Amino acid sequence: MPWLSLIIDTQAEHAEALSEALLELGAMSVDLLDADADTPDEQAIFGEPGEPPPGVWQHNRVSALFDSDEDVVTILRKASAIIGLEQIPQHHIETLAENDWVRLTQSQFEPISISPRLWIVPTWHTPSDPSAINIVLDPGLAFGTGSHPTTRLCLRWLDTNLQGGESVLDYGCGSGILAIAALKLGAAHAVGVDVDLQAVNASRDNAASNQVKNVRFYSPDHAPQSRYELVVANILTNPLRMLAPLLADATRSGGHIVLSGILEEQAQEVMNIYQQWFDLNPPIFEDGWSCLSGRKR
């Protein structure tokens, strides 16, 4: 049986109420996404240390799933009336064919070759090269599966530059993939920090699945105050601006920093901020994203 997907663009003040109204009127599921994702206006929804959480995105995309026999436009009209909108918001409807959704989702995540010796392998796949360094990781609640250019850029830096024995801080750890990779590549110990408690828990689970030791994951308020030989932060440009003094202070003199989650056109702006502490290398680009690295003076 096919399904109907109702996709609505709406402002922050209406997004959550509209989502709840659609669920009350029979939607089987509702997703709330950033309508500005992958643009310079992309916005993190979690606050950073010392900052109040910003809540939902300013420009939201609500995606609701319905049975094919539902009158979706009438449901949207009723939901709009429930939350006090005089007009129904801009929207469109897509028809989704019936699928084995588990199999379909799994088929989208194949093993990813980061380098000849480093692979990301979902649990339902057999490693292509059992002798390689294989990080076992499934898509889940936290960012970082190796499929996004920013994650690949950071992983390649680790694969090329880690010498072994380093202390590592992974700030904005998401799935924990960078801390786990660093340890598998020879780092001595690692700390992961994330403002999202789901990410902290996912990182702990992924570390256990990969049987790596000497790693701990924390929320910012509970993270140890220390300095590291390598600090890596794969987040977004706005948090990287704000966190620059914190990340610089967490890097030992002579240590390295690796930054990603930065759109190509934003790279110079971020470099201008971090140059006051670091001697930076030329940025590396992939698919419109950039990775910055440097050594602390």
Angle value at C-alpha 43, between 268 and 235, nearest 5 degrees: 60
Q: For position 69, which CATH number holds?
A: 3.30.70.120
In a domain, 193, yes or no: yes
Q: Do 255 and 289 share a domain, yes or no?
A: yes
Domain of 76?
A: 3-98
Tokens of 86: 């005089």
Total domains in the chain come to 2
Q: Which helix (H) or strand (E) holds 92?
A: strand 91-96
Nearest CA to 106 out of 89, 121, 91, 92 is that of: 121
Distance from C-alpha of 188 to C-alpha of 273, rounded to nearest angstrom: 29
Q: Looking at per-residue confidence, does 212 or 41 come out higher?
A: 212
Q: Looking at per-residue confidence, does 184 or 42 come out higher?
A: 184
Q: How confident is the prediction for the chain on average, in pLDDT?
A: 87
pLDDT band, residue 105 (cuts 50/70/90): low
In a domain, 115, yes or no: no
Distance from C-alpha of 128 to C-alpha of 125, rounded to nearest angstrom: 9
User: What is the reported pTM?
Assistant: 0.68
In a domain, 108, yes or no: no
Cβ atoms of 76 and 91 closer than 8 Å:
yes
Q: Do 129 and 265 share a domain, yes or no?
A: yes
pLDDT recorded at residue 122: 84
In a domain, 106, yes or no: no
Cβ atoms of 289 and 260 closer than 8 Å:
yes
